[in-house]
Amino acid sequence: MKFCPVRTLRLIAPAIGVATVVTATIAPAAVVRVTEDNFAAGAGLITFSEFNLGTLNPVYTPSDYGADTTAPTVTTGGYFVGQSLSDNPSVDCPSASPSGCISGAPTGELTLDADAPNTFITNDSSFPTSPTLSGTPRFNGPIALLFDEDQLAVGFEGGFFDAAQSTGITAFGRQGELLGTVTNETRGIEFLGLVSADGMSEIAGVFLDLVGSEPAGYNIDNVRFGEPGDVIVPPGVPEIPMEPTDPVDPLPPVAAVPVPASLPLLVAGLGLLGFLRRRA
């Protein structure tokens, strides 16, 4: 039997803000970086202008962001069950704020932890499309998004970054398996997006946290997400046909119309009448 190679990933992210310590085994190239241009017009879009400023842990049903009933519900929170604030932040996250040092990995079916620090809608003058979504404390807390239906690709604008390679978006599967991470490449506001490398919808949730030193913190805006048909996959990612949402039912069979019992008698009578006329 042939086994695919795997690698063990341990993230220890010292920073002012949030850092995460995770030990997990993942398959290589489980996700591929994408840009905002990879999301078609019909892909989901949450701008955080849908609800009032100060809304805690907002939950977005399809009608809240203008989608049809087949789109997913998106729930926000601080982190997932299995993750937690570190009990030993000076070791797990040197130089990071103890209130923002996150350790552990999701366990069981992916679920937001009700005891995690809240996310909330706020303004950020650095974002031209503010309002945004921040973790707690403001601009320095973790942010997690959970989808009730698995997605092919997810992304959002993050920032304002003061250092490259400081912040990452990590994708998890429905059972909490780590799919992969992409990090910011530049300073400023940057779109952080990823797509499943095998072309299958398997992203159940994403988590944004620091993977390096980010002096000024971060928040997010303009979340995009989609399934096959909503995403323009990059080269090398299989394009899986979209399943029809409203299959066309075949036409029902035409029922046979019963012949009235009197019809044979009528035909016989007409035939006899014709015979008598010919005889006459």
Structure confidence at residue 31 (pLDDT): 96
Largest CA distance in the chain: 122
Handedness of CA 19, 116, 34, 234 (dihedral sign): positive
Domain spans in the chain, listed from the N-terminal domain onward: 7-226
Structure confidence at residue 212 (pLDDT): 72
Structure confidence at residue 155 (pLDDT): 98
193 Cβ contact partners less than 8 Å away, ≥ 6 residues apart: 33, 34, 35, 36, 38, 39, 153, 154, 155, 156, 169, 182, 224
Structure confidence at residue 99 (pLDDT): 65
Structure confidence at residue 11 (pLDDT): 41
Q: What is the spatial distance between Cα 159 and Cα 124, in angstroms, rounded to a whole number?
A: 10
Ranges of the chain whose pLDDT falls below 50: 1-16, 22-28, 275-279
Q: Is this model's pTM higher than 0.75 or not?
A: yes
Structure confidence at residue 83 (pLDDT): 95
The encoded tokens of residue 62 equal: 């399809």
